[in-house]
Amino acid sequence: MARDYNVKDTHNGRLTIAGCGLHPGHMTLETQSLIEAAETVLLVAPNPLSIQHIRQLNANTEHLGRFYNMGYSRPEIYRQMALRIIELVQQGQSVCVVFYGHPGVFVSSTRMAGRVLSERGYPVTMLPGISADACLYADLGLDPADTGCQSYESTRFLLTRRDVDNSAALILWQLGLTGEHSMDKFEPGKKGLAALSRLLQQSYPPEHQVCLYEAPTLPGFEPRKDWMALTDLAPADVNTITTLYVPACQEPSFAAERLAWLGLNEDDIRHWDEYEEIEV
């Protein structure tokens, strides 16, 4: 029988979307308490420790990762997940959907379900989680406020026109899916990394050092931090979770006319340099 998602149950269903981070040590106390209080928990997590931890918090936990094994395309996987979320909330249940990392970053199903349910009058809230970008900043010792930071999904960056600012850091997500335009596979397109390397060399020197980064999904493990020249990117070994970090290659220049708007000159802001040596 087809499911009718336009019929609202008389019970008061609600949806909480939470992020559990990349491993159990990342979970906030707020997220933990909402998992414990939910009638049903729906889960997508990358490692058995996170799965076990969440099932210990709430035995009524269903793993949505099963949809990855059903032969669907990626868009259909996310649609099926969203339909399952909607189904349970419209049955009147208090549902907590838990995704690894941040539940609103590169997670289509939570956005689809949340939008539908909000439009139909169901309460929907989202709690943040520690995501791969937070791990990258910590593991590579970066402050995005230093040079500034550009952030794109790798294939969208490759296939759309972007003005690259090479005086700011560049982060490209889902490197392991670069050029995979069909959305049916979980691997790079045949020419994806070579095309991306070619594009980046229009803005950066060929010998510019870039980093293949992967945050650890188990506590106590080291992140992947493989530095290489940009010209070595095309044959690199990447996974679906690999992120490309491209440091800035030049200093930004001050805009004289904007300084003039404030009655300033470059000498007035020399103190911006945080990396002057200090005496200890």
Catalytic residue positions?
74, 78, 100
Strands of the sheet containing 14-19, edge to edge, are 61-63, 40-44, 94-99, 14-19, 124-126
State the greatest distance between any 2 C-alpha atoms of the chain, in Å, as a whole number. Answer: 74
Residue type, 64: L
How far, in Å, are 45, 61, 90, 124 from residue 55 at the CA level? 11, 6, 23, 22
User: 217 near 46, Cβ under 8 Å?
Assistant: yes
CA distance 5 to 55: 28
Helical pair 29-37 and 48-57, crossing angle rounded to 10 deg = 60
CA 63 to mean position of chain CA atoms = 20
How far, in Å, are 4, 72, 128, 231 from residue 1 at the CA level? 9, 21, 36, 55
CA distance 52 to 157: 36
